[in-house]
Amino acid sequence: MDWSTDVYAPETSPEDKREQLRMALIQRYGVPENELTRLPAPWYGWEWRMVGAEWIGPPEEMPDGIGERLCDRWLVAGTSLVFLQVVSPEDDPFPEGEAFLDSLRVTDLK
């Protein structure tokens, strides 16, 4: 989790903030545009999912089936930006990470 404050101007609309975020994810962080999913209400933000493998060692010794499922969410909350990430084994039969993300609510306290 990461929380960045004062990312957006207070007068910017939620839709414009979401679009600014989308452009930053594509241009600054290299997230493929076709892999971004707009989060449903009540969130203003984006989600990116991928499966990757991280192995420290010779490639020929990498075990079969090693992989991790990553789910990244970026949420606009007022003038702030919240980043959440869930990492689980690729074949994880328990969706605790998904339940965790779906249970969170980020609100703007004024």
Would the pLDDT of 12 be above 80?
yes
pLDDT band at 86, cuts 50/70/90?
confident
Where do the domains of the chain lie?
Answer: 2-52+66-88+95-103
pLDDT for residue 106: 63
Give the end-to-end CA distance of the chain in Å, rounded to a whole number.
Answer: 22
Count, in order, helices (H) and strands (E) of the chain. Answer: 2, 5
Q: Which residues lie across from 81 on neighbouring strands?
A: 4, 76
Query: 72 near 1, Cβ under 8 Å?
Result: no
What number is the average pLDDT over the span 80-106? Answer: 76
Tell me the average pLDDT of the chain: 82
Count of residues making up the chain: 110
Return the structure tokens found at 22: 């989308």
Q: Write the pLDDT tens digit of every residue in 49-82.
A: 887 766 566 666 666 656 677 889 999 988 999 9
How far apart CA 49 and CA 24 sit, in angstroms, is 17
| In the block, residue with structure tokens 């990312």 | 7
